[in-house]
Chains A and B, each alone.
Chain A
Amino acid sequence: MKKLVVLLMAVTLFFSCSEEKRRRGIDFSKLKAELNLTDAQVEKYDAVVASSDEERQKQMEEMKASGKMNRKGFMKIMKTSYTKQEAAFKDFLNEEQQVLVHEFIKKNMPGQSDYSDELKAEIIQTLALDSAQTVKYKAVNQAFAKAFRDAHDHYHGNGEAANMYWNQFNEDRKTALQKIFTEEQYAQYLELIKKENYRGKNERG
């Protein structure tokens, strides 16, 4: 009997002590494998990742301490920090590697459930939206983000449900945009969003 209890406790202790994967940030070890870095680059790469991680941690602590811990604040820190980190990478990576880094960060930005700001800006430019259309386009995107975020209590912890909510609100967004854009603009819009067709598919809930 004693053996059984000890065994149970040992198993739990073993699992409890194993290191949990970082869930909230970008896993830069995956990117490292894709970049084919030279030895000199590896050293600089690791240094940038470590210092950026530390800096982000400090900012998160500061946000918690200031009583403003919320999704918006979290996103602001993540976006600013990863943009800075990408700039730091540029100093020692070649152009091809820089493109890979940019796409990787864009795709894996934590909390980025909607299309990237970069794509949204490209849509405004390519579709040549006038000022009234731009205001409405931004409002529609904001409504999408709010509706999806508001449903969070429903899909929390359930990736499949999160995906369904994303698709449903995206359909509503498309319907709203159809009323704002011309037919030609809308067709262009549908083409452009294919660039980030991964959005919504991997929502973690």
Chain B
Amino acid sequence: MRLKQSLFRKKRKKESLFKYIMSVSHLWLGLLSSVVVFVVCFSGAMYSFKTQISELLNYEVVFNQETKQTDWIQPDQIKTNFQQKSQNITNIIYPSDFSRNILVAYHDIEEEFDGHYYIHPSTGEIIGSSSRSTGAFFDLMKSIHKNLLLGKVGNHLVGISILIFVILLISGLVLWFPKNKKQWKQGFKIKWSAKWARVVYDLHNTLGFYTFLLLLFISITGLYVSYAWVKSAVVVSLGGQPVLNASNAEAMKGELSNVFASFLEESMDNQEEKKKEANVSLNTLLKDASQRLPYKGITTIQLPTEDNPLYQITKIKQEGIFSAVVPDHVKYGKDGKFKKLVLFSDQSIADQFMEVSLPLHTGEILGLSGIILYFIVTMIACSLPVTGILIWVKKL
């Protein structure tokens, strides 16, 4: 009976109709989505430290234990060292400083095997490969986060629950909004000395308020991945191309044909590039790329493959605690001639958003500090359904 009264309570005398609707919908939607929101937030928070945990498990190979020397080994030397063992390098990742080892990916010609080694950043000595994998656990967390291990049905369940969570955040903010000076003070802090019911209420109310903006952002970037219409709306609002559908197919035909034509031009160029043969110095390319991208960062040298005849050097800035972790690329022909500089900042806002939508959702866009911040906020999001239900139970 009390349950029914609580779920279908009447409007209070001094309560506005707007606040009444917000309050009742906050309760109903909260109860409806609470379990899924909790599971999704918890699995997301667990998944956020995947890279860091994996690196910690392989600490002795990932991190440089011998930091006395401070001269980088040059890429040509690395290439020669590997070639002596019949291994063609495909990728070299230079860390931003000497605290880490260099990661080299190679193809073993004799064994027909693709592998990787961490090498010392100064001596080039092979340290080892990261053998301790956390793949199974984090793959499970990722699947739970994305679809609760329920495939397509789970995708929709998560999508709908997060959509509800967005509404809950907004209705929660409306309900948080203080009526008077006393409530203003209460709305910003947790009164730890009060009885547990009040502490729980403050935890829900105050923490919800502080994390509102970031949770709204994380939810929307999550919905962006789940729903085409959210993606389309976000991309179009940022000045990009809408997602192709039956109603805009005719209008977008010309635009997509232009996209195809530009790729065809690039492919034709690549076919010509494949014919070229030259002994290219990776040292020269790295020096040139460093001049074009003069900042501290993680540098990846990608060597030409069967499909892609270009050398590509990618640099990801690693400056400041809250600087955005975004990639810039420099491309060179098979003969080592400079082809193109692709700066992240030169892309349209819509393209930038699409490129970094995932790191924006995970917090990786701000590096480790962003991941920690997102972890804390997501754990608070986990607590919101719990404290919300406790508040409701107390009122029953």
Point out residues on A near B: beta carbons under 8 Å: 1, 4-5, 8-9, 11-12, 15-21, 23, 59-68, 72-73, 135-136, 138-140, 142-144, 146-147, 150-151, 153-158, 160-161, 164-165, 168-169, 172-173, 175-176
Task: Give the chain A neighbours of B393 by CB distance below 8 A.
Answer: 1, 5
A169 touches B149 (CB 8 A): no
A65 touches B144 (CB 8 A): no
CA gap between A18 and B115 in the complex, in Å: 34
Task: Give the chain A neighbours of B227 by CB distance below 8 A.
Answer: 157
Question: Which residue on chain B has the smallest CB distance to residue A155?
Answer: B243
Residue tally, chain B, CB below 8 Å to A: 62
Task: Give the chain B neighbours of A8 by CB distance below 8 A.
Answer: 31, 34-35
Known: A67-B105, A142-B307, A156-B225. A165 touches B244 (CB 8 A): yes
Nearest chain B CB to A131 CB, angstrom units: 11
Task: Give the chain B neighbours of A135 by CB distance below 8 A.
Answer: 271
Top 5 nearest A-B pairs (CB, nearest first) are: A66-B116, A172-B260, A143-B264, A158-B228, A66-B105
Nearest chain A CB to B197 CB, angstrom units: 16
B114 touches A164 (CB 8 A): no
**Residues 257-273 of chain B: 1 if any A CB is under 8 Å from the residue's CB, otherwise 0?**
10111011011101100
A172 touches B256 (CB 8 A): yes
**Residues 355-390 of chain B: 1 if any A CB is under 8 Å from the residue's CB, otherwise 0?**
001000000000000000000000000000000010
Instruction: Confirm or deny: B48 has a beta carbon within 8 angstroms of a beta carbon on chain A.
Output: no
Question: Which residue on chain A has the smallest CB distance to residue B36?
Answer: A12
Instruction: Confirm or deny: B39 has a beta carbon within 8 angstroms of a beta carbon on chain A.
Output: yes
Known: A157-B226, A172-B260. 5 other contacts (CB 8 A): A17-B149, A23-B151, A65-B130, A68-B105, A144-B260
Task: Give the chain B neighbours of A157 by CB distance below 8 A.
Answer: 155, 225-228
Task: Give the chain B neighbours of A164 by CB distance below 8 A.
Answer: 244-246, 249
Q: Among the interface residues A59, A139, A155, which one has the most CB atoms of the partner chain B within 10 A?
A: A139
**Residues 119-159 of chain B: 1 if any A CB is under 8 Å from the residue's CB, otherwise 0?**
00000000001100101000000011001111100110000
Which of B151, B253, B263 contacts A147 (CB under 8 A)?
A: B263
Task: Give the chain B neighbours of A19 by CB distance below 8 A.
Answer: 149
CA gap between A51 and B163 in the complex, in Å: 42
CA gap between A172 and B255 in the complex, in Å: 11
Task: Give the chain B neighbours of A63 by CB distance below 8 A.
Answer: 114
CA gap between A154 and B244 in the complex, in Å: 8
Question: Which residue on chain A has the smallest CB distance to residue B244?
Answer: A164
CA gap between A144 and B246 in the complex, in Å: 21
Instruction: Confirm or deny: B235 has a beta carbon within 8 angstroms of a beta carbon on chain A.
Output: yes
Nearest chain B CB to A29 CB, angstrom units: 16
Task: Give the chain B neighbours of A147 by CB distance below 8 A.
Answer: 256, 259-260, 263
Which of A142, A151, A158, A169 contacts B270 (CB under 8 A)?
A: A142
Which of A11, A146, A155, A165 contacts B267 (CB under 8 A)?
A: A146
Work out how many contacts link A and B, with CB atoms closer than 8 A.
Answer: 149
CA gap between A23 and B149 in the complex, in Å: 11
Q: Among the interface residues A8, A64, A72, A158, which one has the most CB atoms of the partner chain B within 10 A?
A: A158
Known: A65-B133, A157-B225. A21 touches B235 (CB 8 A): no
CA gap between A136 and B270 in the complex, in Å: 11
B39 touches A12 (CB 8 A): yes
A139 touches B267 (CB 8 A): yes
Interface members, chain B 24-76 (any A CB < 8 Å)? 31, 34-36, 39
A172 touches B257 (CB 8 A): yes
CA gap between A62 and B148 in the complex, in Å: 26
A66 touches B91 (CB 8 A): yes
Instruction: Confirm or deny: B3 has a beta carbon within 8 angstroms of a beta carbon on chain A.
Output: yes
Known: A143-B264, A161-B244, A176-B264. A20 touches B149 (CB 8 A): yes
Task: Give the chain A neighbours of B135 by CB distance below 8 A.
Answer: 60-61, 64
Known: A12-B36, A66-B116, A161-B243. A139 touches B271 (CB 8 A): yes
Question: Which residue on chain B has the smallest CB distance to residue A80?
Answer: B112
B244 touches A150 (CB 8 A): no
CA gap between A173 and B261 in the complex, in Å: 9
Contact sample, A vs B, 13 pairs, CB 8 Å cutoff: A15-B149, A15-B150, A16-B144, A21-B151, A62-B114, A65-B116, A65-B129, A67-B300, A135-B271, A147-B260, A153-B231, A156-B231, A157-B227
Task: Give the chain A neighbours of B115 by CB distance below 8 A.
Answer: 62, 66
A72 touches B93 (CB 8 A): no
B260 touches A173 (CB 8 A): yes
Nearest chain B CB to A120 CB, angstrom units: 13
B129 touches A72 (CB 8 A): no
**Residues 302-331 of chain B: 1 if any A CB is under 8 Å from the residue's CB, otherwise 0?**
000101000000000000000000000000
CA gap between A16 and B39 in the complex, in Å: 9
Known: A12-B39, A66-B105. A140 touches B267 (CB 8 A): yes
Question: Which residue on chain B has the smallest CB distance to residue A17?
Answer: B149
Task: Give the chain B neighbours of A1 by CB distance below 8 A.
Answer: 3, 393, 396
CA gap between A144 and B267 in the complex, in Å: 10
CA gap between A15 and B155 in the complex, in Å: 13
A61 touches B105 (CB 8 A): no
Known: A5-B389, A16-B148, A161-B245. A66 touches B103 (CB 8 A): yes
CA gap between A175 and B231 in the complex, in Å: 30
Instruction: Confirm or deny: B290 has a beta carbon within 8 angstroms of a beta carbon on chain A.
Output: no
Nearest chain A CB to B359 CB, angstrom units: 14
Instruction: Confirm or deny: B219 has a beta carbon within 8 angstroms of a beta carbon on chain A.
Output: no
